[in-house]
Amino acid sequence: MNRIKFVLRNERGFLLLNVVFLTLITSFAAMILINAAPRVRNPQSTLRLTALYLANEQFAELESLAAREDISGSQPFLGDKDDLKSNNLSEDNPIEFKVTTNVSGGRAVVKVSWQVGGEDFEIETERTIRVVQE
Domain limits of the chain? 2-36, 43-128
- What is the bridge-based pairing of β-strands 107-116 and 95-96? unpaired
DSSP string, 65-112: HHHHS---EEE---S-GGGGEE-SS-SSSPEEPEEEEEEETTEEEEEE
Supply the pLDDT for residue 14.
60
pTM of the model: 0.64
The 10s digit of each residue's pLDDT in 94-116 is 889 999 999 988 889 999 999 88
Type of residue numbered 122:
E
- The average pLDDT across 68-95 equals 80
At 51 the three-state DSSP class reads helix
Report the candidate in 106, 64, 99 with the shortest Cα–Cα distance to residue 83: 99
Tell me: pLDDT of 23 over 60.
yes
Looking at residue 111, its pLDDT comes to 96
Instruction: Give the chain's mean pLDDT.
Output: 79
